[in-house]
């Protein structure tokens, strides 16, 4: 099985000025493509050859895990963005308020985790088997799948995600990123048990 490149659900300059076309050209066109190329190269002739990407993330280790997890994380990341504001539904808003106290408190916790994560990694909103919501700060290619949780929302805080637009100002990137989130996508993920469906 060849894992195909994600086509962006928006134009490369549609997220300007919060996320530039140049950033997307590198981040989507180069970084994600390289992770997928590596996965496709590393699985040849192995038991992973015909597995979906999610299964590779859950089962592999070493370089294959790193590349598969980065590919998976980035596909979720790019798919959950929108050039136009997509508001939270009452359902999602109520779930977040129940878990974190208020939307403002959720935003504060999520953004603070993204700003404070040391080095490269990802911050996630994830849902566990008991339908509880969690904010997870994961180094490197970390993601909720390996903790038995499903991902709802993520932010990439590797420097390649923001350095062209924001240089060392990670907090500015995080604040701008917040305004690109397609909350309908986040809610759709929350409503499904099998996270391969929105993949
Ligand atoms: Mn990235």
DSSP-assigned beta bridge partners for residue 122: 138, 156
CB contact at 8 A, 20 and 162: no
CATH 1.10.10.10 matches 21-79: no
**Topology match between the domains 21-79 and 90-191:** no
Identify the CA nearest to 185 among candidates 79, 93, 106, 78: 79
DSSP-assigned beta bridge partners for residue 181: 81
Tell me the per-residue pLDDT of 61-88, one tens digit each, with 9 for 90 and over. Answer: 999 999 999 999 999 999 999 999 898 9
Rounded Cα distance between 22 and 12, Å, is: 8
Q: Would you state the pLDDT for residue 137?
A: 98
Distance between Cα 27 and ligand 1 center (Å): 6
Distance between Cα 93 and ligand 1 center (Å): 27
Rounded Cα distance between 140 and 68, Å, is: 12
Query: What is the spatial order of strands in the sheet that 133-139 belongs to?
Result: 133-139, 121-127, 150-156
CB contact at 8 A, 177 and 156: no
Tokens (6 digits) for 16: 């300007």
Distance between Cα 156 and ligand 1 center (Å): 6
For ligand 1, a single-atom ion, which residues have Cβ within 5 Å?
156, 158, 161
The CATH number corresponding to 90-191 among 1.10.238.10, 3.55.40.20, 3.40.640.10, 2.70.150.10 equals: 3.55.40.20
Rounded Cα distance between 17 and 151, Å, is: 27
How, if at all, do strands 133-139 and 150-156 pair? unpaired
Rounded Cα distance between 90 and 104, Å, is: 15
Distance between Cα 149 and ligand 1 center (Å): 21
What are the domain boundaries of the chain? 21-79, 90-191
Q: Would you state the pLDDT for residue 161?
A: 98
Distance between Cα 138 and ligand 1 center (Å): 13
Tell me the per-residue pLDDT of 96-144, one tens digit each, with 9 for 90 and over. Answer: 999 999 999 999 999 999 999 999 999 999 999 999 999 999 999 999 9
Distance between Cα 32 and ligand 1 center (Å): 7
Distance between Cα 158 and ligand 1 center (Å): 6
Residue 125's CB is within 10 A of a number of other CB atoms, namely 25
Distance between Cα 30 and ligand 1 center (Å): 10
């Amino acid at each position: 099985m060849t894992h195909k490149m994600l086509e962006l659900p928006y134009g490369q300059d549609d997220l300007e000025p919060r996320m530039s076309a140049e950033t997307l050209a590198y981040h989507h066109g180069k970084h994600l493509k390289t992770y997928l190329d590596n996965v496709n190269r590393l699985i040849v002739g192995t038991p992973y050859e015909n597995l979906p990407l999610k299964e590779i993330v859950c089962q592999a280790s070493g370089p294959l895990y790193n590349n598969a997890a980065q590919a998976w994380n980035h596909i979720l990341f790019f798919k959950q963005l929108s050039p136009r504001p997509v508001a939270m539904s009452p359902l999602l808003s109520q779930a977040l308020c129940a878990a974190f106290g208020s939307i403002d408190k959720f935003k504060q916790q999520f953004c603070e985790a993204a700003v404070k994560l040391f080095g490269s990694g990802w911050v996630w909103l994830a849902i566990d088997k008991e339908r509880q919501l969690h904010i997870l700060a994961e180094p490197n290619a970390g993601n909720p799948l390996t903790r038995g949780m499903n991902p709802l929302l993520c932010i990439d805080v590797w420097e390649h995600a923001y350095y062209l637009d924001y240089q060392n100002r990670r907090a500015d990137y995080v604040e701008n990123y917040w305004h690109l989130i397609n909350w309908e996508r986040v809610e759709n993920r929350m409503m499904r048990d099998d996270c391969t469906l929105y993949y």
